[in-house]
Structure 1
């Protein structure tokens, strides 16, 4: 494990941590340190939602799949992101990897969080593209997402960071 690297605003971003069984309580504990009027129910509902949506899915590492979105949410708390962003971090894979629909998500979590999750899903993979055309398409998607809501790109980067750690 490497030492935490400082990030603007006094937050730290740890690198090389790998897979961890993060709990929603750990996420809430971290958020309480920087978001005084935290809607804890929102994050608990998002956590229960991913438990139901992802069920018994496993990652290649053998960890329960829900360890990934929880780790993404924890990284977002290291950046001191707002509750909607952290909830979207928890929910970021439900449209892509489960039977959950945008309508289901909107009904349960409203427009703001649904829009963030949709943006992360549409942004797709931010990987090394093999052709110049693919590189341009990745850049175009990132710019569009940034113009709409920068939080989408930050959530996607946290998703990719956790995948790289594991």
Structure 2
């Protein structure tokens, strides 16, 4: 499992003056919010946001992006509101988290309608800040790495989305290693 110290060392390596206190704060906060949650694999859920943050650090993104990676599921999966994220971590981190967060308690006629609206939301946010897409791509990559724990229909749906949407986006951004692993 990736540790916070690994992520902080990576970030300091490419951005010596990065706000590592903010990253540490996001790590502790996300750990507390995800406490007791499990992945379908049976692993502690918190492994996922830490892995996503590690991928973001590999991309050499800023501290706000690493924080957003750590916090990307707290609004969606925990009892945390976006205004709370904004109060605790600031507007920039909250914007990134919001851009990655799937639509919540809105009723849609179908899964496809919900998915289309979630993509629309992400694309609008991405137009303002490409880091939204980079966090989403890192999230998808980590989910693909653990896909074997999902049902066969879910595996097929997620793999199809990845091949049709996420891998081409990574390619268009020139992140060939990410595109290759997503494929």
**Shared fold (TM-score, shorter chain, > 0.5):** yes
| Counterparts of 1:22 and 1:145, CA distance in 2 | 28
Gaps of 5+ in 2: 105-110, 147-183
Say which SS state the counterpart of residue 37 (structure 1) adopts.
coil
2:57 to 74, 77, 89: 77
Task: Name stretches of at least 5 consecutive residues in structure 1 with no aligned partner.
Answer: 1-20, 125-129
State how far apart, in whole Å, the 1-side matches of 2:116 and 2:27 are.
35
- TM-fit CA distance, 1:22: 1.4
* Structure 2 Cα separation of the partners of residues 134 and 97 of structure 1: 16
Higher helix share: 2
Moved over 4 A (4+): 133-139
Q: Describe the shift of the 1:156–1:35 C-alpha distance in structure 2 as closer, same or farther (beyond 3 A).
A: same
C-alpha displacement of 1:136: 6.3
Indicate conservation of the 8 Å contact 2:34/2:46, yes or no. yes
Deviation, structure 1 residue 40: 1.4
Q: 1:64: Cα distance to partner?
A: 0.8
Q: Which residue of 2 aligns with 1:96?
A: 76
Equivalent residue number for residue 64 of structure 1: 44
Q: How does 1:122-161 map to 2 (within 5 A)?
A: 122=102, 140-161=120-141
User: SS at 2:8's partner residue?
Assistant: helix
* Matched length: 141
Q: Is the 8 A contact 2:73 2:101 kept in 1?
A: yes
Among residues 100, 108, 111, which one is paired with 1:120 in the alignment?
100
Shift, 1:49, TM fit: 0.2
